[in-house]
């Protein structure tokens, strides 16, 4: 017989944190806290298996569930001294959802359940506070109607506003018990009006209605979207936790609050949180009242005059601090807590591993390792490599002038610039069109999540550090300024106003989430400085990492950045990038327009010293590290003008007839340049180009070696190879050039020749190709294009739909398509190594910087990954995690 219900409370529990799959995170952790002896209001959890049963059986329950719930209610009643359904001594409960993964704000909650027209009087009597009882009752009606009966919140808010206006009342606290009683009559009438039924008075009916609503909410659109965004399987289901109510709104010795055991922004080891005296939990999260600090230190730092919990409720504070320390030690990670104080008695309502910024995550992991709480491997595994991106990107230049429009809470660090948009849909739309936007809202809610994903930064005019906007933005690693109260937002006119300045949507603002500033226009950015903990973590990662990490770079700046970020060489130097600069493209064009080989050689002779100079610089910057140089790859028409106006300028500069230039351009034009006359096809047709490049490489190597005294061993990479015979032809030219340069310089020239494996055929013929190739580098960008027959430049029109429909689990240009492209990489690697067991095999597509793809490369035993310079630390960490055996699902 399945067990459907697990009770907790009174210092023990049937569940435990390891039963998260069954009880959901919330239920499991409540059980764990009960087992740890912490003060938890008694309750019970209906398992996720009931949810599974519910959806498998047309939304019905197991037949024995009701009996188990009855028994559990009785046990909660026994522990609290109340009885569910007893109208003179009612047990009130909360009903909450709780899935295995935290889905903040996505599921629905009902508080104060068990109240009805009769028991509300008993509550008033028991609490000695009639106003509290009727306030609780009206909150219950409002929440229950919203969640269970589908009557929107604003229907009741409108009645409340109307009532207050009619009586010139301002705040909810201005309303008396009588006021609430009258409003409750109106609320109940509204329920009859909109649902056609009386508000349910029977506590059992209320309870089962709420349980059904929680299970039902697992399939609401918000939940479905959230799961899709976070790759949470639908099959997990949610649990339902029913728990005895405790009240933070029973006067000045009551309170409610949230806290983190360490600072989730910086990682500093300090109790961090907010609370409100005489309030229910929803008041804190909603961000309507500005909360107070928990510690005295925090109050002073914030310059607040409102007392901290440390001074207002010193005994409760001390007990709370002990509880937080116990929980952090127990869970070996920073905890995110909810608590309520009912008339001086502390109740722990929730604990879970807290979300944090990347900076904080690194500091906490390193600190906890140093504190002996966790080991180095665990520290490495705790950091999401992709999240490093927010540390590696620029921050605002402190010396740049700032036109600060408004200041709010520094809710999520980092800085970003973008156009103002006032709605989530619009944010998605503009971002889809390649524009950078800042999402500006009064408050955010789960309905805005897609817009927050699309935006560069988030700005709200209301809410605190633990408001929805702040929590979600930190999770996403996006800059956020929350509660910038000076800003008035007018959705109707599409504007935001601060004092006498009005900004319309489309206006550019910069958000400094670290300083909490909203700045007009764009602000200059600075390269980030990486903290001591960051360096420590990376050094630990490097200790366990097996694969090398190289960078794709060709400019001096990129090469220097790559080296400073720990790149162990250049995995891809795209020489064509060196030809696009103004002084060089002229020679390149002369070469392309030359009538014969002699003309091409003359133009190439002028490019030679320029190219050699570039390589000398690269070799010097990367001294002692390998540098892989790819021969000219793009089709030649990329170097020619694209329209008549440009052609006229170019013709004048080159001293040629514009018509001749246009004719040559038309000749070279291609239907599918990606599959055209490029790569080593150029080297086969015009070997003099490859010869010039080889000479530049060898002469540069000789010069750099002489100057620096460090050996240089360039790796020459032949692109787009299909067959051994093709590579042989090009390699012969390179080898001949090496001999010629060696004879001229009188030195020995060390180098290797390899190939970029970027066509399906090259993967299949890798066994033969490796007879000639001394290394392989998988060009997974082009390999993805060819394997999938998807042009990256044209994919925008359908690829999103493909990911959305689940045809691909992720954008295959971001995360390697393991099942297709991945098998080709596997075939290429294994066949290549069958021929040449020590074959050096790397990957140099965008995937080289993607953690999921890096994990796959580790499995295949690749020698190195190569990625863009600023992703080098991400790759180092991901490679370390892969070496530790971390499995990563495909994520977009």
Binding region for a second copy (CB under 8 A): 670-677, 679, 681, 684-685, 720, 722-723, 725-726, 729, 758-761, 764-765, 782, 785-791, 793-794, 797-798, 801-802, 805-808, 817, 819-821, 823-824
CB closer to a second copy out of 29 and 759? 759
Which SS3 state, helix, strand or coil, does residue 322 take?
helix
Query: How many Å apart are CA 118 and CA 125, to the nearest integer?
Result: 11
Minimum CB separation of residue 824 from a second copy in Å reads 7
CB of 170 or CB of 797, closer to a second copy = 797
HSE at residue 129, side-chain half, CA atoms within 13 A, is 14
- The separation between CA 478 and the C-alpha centre of its own chain, rounded to angstroms, equals 8
Nearest to 376 by CA among 547, 567, 539: 539
Q: How far is the CB of 498 from a second copy (least distance, A)?
A: 38
Q: Residue 671 Cβ, how far from a second copy at the closest point, in Å?
A: 4
Tokens 């955010």 appear where?
444
CB of 849 to a second copy, least distance (A): 23
28, 69 Cβ separation under 8 angstroms: no
DSSP codes, 450-466 = HHHHH-SEEEESS--TT
330 in catalytic set: no
SS3 content of the chain, % helix, strand, coil (to 5): 50, 15, 35
In whole angstroms, how close is the CB of 681 to a second copy at the nearest point? 5
CA distances for 122 relative to 127, 364, 432, 581, angstroms:
8, 48, 57, 83
3-state secondary structure of 404: strand
Interatomic CA distance for residues 149 and 156, integer angstroms: 13
- Cα separation, 520 vs 406, in Å, equals 9
Paired sense of beta strands 345-353 and 487-490, if any: unpaired
Distance CA 672, CA 790 (A): 12
Least distance (Å) between residue 672 CB and a second copy: 4
Full DSSP string of 28-74:
HHHHHHHHTT-----EEEE-HHHHHHHHHTTS---TTHHHHHHHHHH
Least separation in angstroms between residue 679's CB and a second copy is: 8
Nearer to a second copy, 331 or 802 (CB): 802
Q: Do 716 and 631 form a contact (C-beta atoms < 8 A)?
A: yes
Q: What is the DSSP string of 798-852?
A: THHHHHHTTSSSS-TTTS--IIIIIHHHHHHHHHHHHHSTT-EEEE-SGGGG-HH
Distance of alpha carbon 709 from alpha carbon 703, whole angstroms:
10
CB 740 within 8 A of CB 806: no
Which CB, 86 or 826, lies closer to a second copy? 826
Nearest approach, Cβ of residue 776 and a second copy (Å): 16
Nearer to a second copy, 531 or 791 (CB): 791
Of 558 and 726, the one with the shorter C-beta distance to a second copy is: 726
Residue in 51, 573, 844, 857 annotated catalytic: 844
Residue 724 or 840: which CB sits closer to a second copy?
724
Q: Which is nearer to a second copy, 491 or 798 (CB)?
A: 798
Q: Diameter of the chain by CA atoms? A: 105
Nearest approach in angstroms of CB 802 to a second copy is: 7
Query: Residue 418 forms beta bridges with which residues?
Result: 509
Of 168 and 797, the one with the shorter C-beta distance to a second copy is 797
Question: Considering beta carbons, is residue 513 or 812 the nearer one to a second copy?
Answer: 812
Calculate the CA dihedral of residues 367, 368, 369, 373 and round it to 10 degrees. Answer: 160
Helix axis angle for 48-56 and 203-217, nearest 10°, is 80
DSSP letter string, 679-733: THHHHHH-HHHHHHHHHHHHHHHHHHHHHH-S---EEEEE-S---HHHHHHHHHH
Q: Write the DSSP string, 82-147.
A: -BTT-SSSBPPEEEEEEESS--TTTS-EEEEET--TTHHHHHHHHHT-HHHHHHHHHHHHHHHIII
Cβ neighbors of 667 (< 8 A, separation 6 or more) are: none
CB of residue 3 to a second copy, shortest distance in Å: 37
Q: Are 274 and 258 in contact (CB under 8 A)?
A: yes
**CB proximity list for 506: less than 8 A, separation 6 or greater:** 419, 420
* Torsion 616-619-621-623 (CA) sign: negative
Write down the least CB distance from residue 692 to a second copy, Å. 19
- The helix (H) or strand (E) run that includes residue 342 is strand 335-342
Closer to a second copy at the Cβ: 499 or 725? 725
Nearer to a second copy, 47 or 759 (CB): 759
- Give the single-character DSSP code of 411: E
The whole-angstrom separation of Cα 530 and Cα 441 is 32
**Chain-centre distance of CA 514, in angstroms?**
18
Task: Decide whether 39 or 760 has the Cβ nearer to a second copy.
Answer: 760
Pick the catalytic residue: 468, 480, 573, 867? 468
> Is 844 a catalytic site residue?
yes
For residues 358 and 874, give the distance between their C-alpha atoms in angstroms, rounded to a whole number.
12
Question: At its nearest, how many Å lie between a second copy and the CB of residue 779?
Answer: 10
Under 8 Å between Cβ of 446 and 222: yes
Cβ 765 to a second copy shortest distance, Å: 6
- Catalytically active residues are 468, 844
């Amino acid at each position: 017989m399945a067990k459907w219900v697990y009770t907790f409370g009174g210092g023990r529990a049937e569940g435990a944190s390891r039963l998260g799959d069954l009880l959901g995170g919330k239920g499991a952790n409540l059980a764990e806290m009960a087992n740890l002896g912490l003060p938890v209001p008694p309750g019970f959890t209906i398992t996720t298996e009931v949810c599974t049963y519910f959806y498998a059986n047309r939304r019905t329950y197991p037949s024995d569930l009701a009996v188990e719930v009855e028994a559990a209610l009785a046990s909660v009643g026994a522990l609290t001294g109340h009885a569910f359904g007893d109208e003179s001594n009612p047990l009130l409960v909360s009903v909450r959802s709780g899935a295995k993964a935290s889905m903040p704000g996505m599921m629905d909650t009902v508080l104060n359940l068990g109240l009805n027209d009769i028991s509300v009087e008993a509550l008033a009597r028991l609490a000695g506070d009639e106003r509290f009882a009727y306030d609780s009752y009206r909150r219950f009606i409002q929440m229950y109607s919203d969640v269970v009966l589908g009557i929107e919140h604003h229907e009741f808010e409108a009645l409340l506003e109307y009532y207050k206006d009619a009586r010139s009342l301002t705040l909810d606290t201005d309303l008396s018990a009588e006021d609430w009683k009258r409003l409750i009559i109106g609320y109940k009438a509204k329920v009859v009006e909109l649902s056609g039924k009386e508000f349910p008075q029977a506590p059992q009916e209320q309870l089962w209605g709420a349980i059904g609503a929680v299970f039902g909410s697992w399939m609401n659109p918000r939940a479905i979207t959230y799961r899709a965004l976070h790759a949470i399987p639908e099959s997990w289901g949610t649990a339902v936790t029913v728990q005895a109510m405790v009240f933070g709104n029973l006067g000045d010795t009551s309170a409610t609050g949230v806290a983190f055991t360490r600072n989730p922004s910086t990682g500093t080891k300090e109790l961090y949180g907010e609370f409100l005296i005489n309030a229910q939990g929803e008041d804190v999260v909603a961000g309507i009242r500005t909360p107070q600090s928990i510690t005295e230190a925090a109050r002073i730092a914030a310059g607040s005059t409102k007392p901290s919990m440390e001074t207002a409720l010193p005994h409760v504070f001390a007990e709370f601090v002990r509880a937080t320390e116990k929980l952090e030690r127990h869970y070996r990670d920073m905890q995110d807590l909810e608590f309520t104080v009912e008339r001086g008695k502390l109740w722990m309502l929730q604990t879970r591993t807290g979300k944090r910024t990347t900076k904080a995550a690194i500091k906490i992991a390193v600190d906890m390792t140093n504190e002996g709480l966790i080991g180095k491997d665990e520290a490495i595994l705790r950091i999401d490599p992709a999240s490093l991106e927010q540390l590696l990107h620029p921050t605002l230049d402190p010396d740049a002038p700032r036109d600060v429009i408004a200041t709010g809470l520094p809710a999520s660090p980092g800085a970003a610039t973008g156009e103002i948009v006032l709605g989530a849909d619009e944010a998605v739309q503009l971002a889809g069109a390649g524009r950078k936007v800042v999402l500006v809202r009064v408050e955010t809610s789960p309905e805005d999540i897609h817009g927050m994903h699309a935006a560069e930064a988030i700005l709200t005019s209301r809410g605190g550090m633990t408001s929805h906007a702040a929590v979600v933005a930190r999770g996403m690693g996006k800059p956020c300024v929350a509660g910038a109260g000076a800003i008035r937002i007018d959705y109707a006119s599409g504007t935001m106003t601060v004092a006498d300045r009005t900004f319309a949507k489309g206006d550019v603002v910069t958000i400094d989430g670290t300083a909490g500033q909203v700045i007009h226009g764009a602000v200059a950015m600075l390269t980030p400085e990486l903290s001591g903990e960051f360096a420590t973590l990376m050094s630990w990662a490097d200790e366990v990492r097996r694969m090398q990490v190289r960078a794709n770079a060709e400019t001096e700046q990129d090469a220097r950045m790559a080296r400073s970020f720990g790149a162990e060489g250049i995995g891809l130097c795209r020489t064509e990038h060196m030809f696009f600069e103004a002084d060089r493209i002229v020679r390149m064009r002369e070469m392309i327009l030359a009538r014969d080989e002699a003309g091409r050689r003359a133009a190439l002779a002028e490019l030679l010293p320029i190219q050699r100079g570039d390589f000398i610089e690269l070799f010097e910057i990367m001294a002692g590290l390998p540098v892989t140089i790819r021969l000219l790859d793009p089709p030649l028409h990329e170097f020619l003008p694209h329209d008549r106006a440009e052609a006229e300028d170019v013709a004048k500069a080159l001293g040629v007839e514009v018509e001749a230039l246009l004719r040559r351009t038309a000749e070279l034009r291609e239907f599918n340049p990606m599959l055209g006359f490029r790569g080593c096809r150029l080297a086969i047709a015009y070997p003099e180009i490859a010869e010039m490049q080889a000479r530049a490489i060898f002469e540069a190597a000789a010069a750099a070696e002489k100057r620096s005294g460090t050996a240089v061993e360039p790796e020459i990479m032949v692109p787009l190879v299909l067959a051994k015979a093709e590579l042989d032809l090009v390699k012969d030219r390179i080898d001949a050039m090496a001999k010629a340069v060696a004879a001229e310089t009188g030195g020995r020239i060390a180098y290797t020749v390899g190939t970029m494996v970027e066509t399906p055929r090259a993967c299949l013929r890798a066994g033969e190709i490796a007879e000639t190739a001394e290394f392989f580098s998988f060009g997974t960008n082009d390999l993805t294009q060819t394997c999938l027959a998807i042009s990256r430049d044209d994919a925008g029109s359908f690829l999103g739909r493909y990911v959305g429909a689940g045809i691909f689990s992720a954008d295959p240009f971001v995360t390697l398509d393991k099942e297709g492209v991945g098998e080709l990489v596997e075939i290429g690697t294994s066949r290549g190594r069958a021929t040449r067991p020590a074959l050096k095999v790397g990957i140099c597509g965008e995937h080289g910087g993607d953690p999921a793809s890096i994990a796959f490369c580790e499995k295949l035993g690749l020698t190195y990954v190569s990625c863009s310079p600023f992703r080098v630390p991400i790759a180092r960490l991901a490679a370390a995690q892969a070496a530790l055996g971390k499995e990563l699902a495909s994520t977009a």
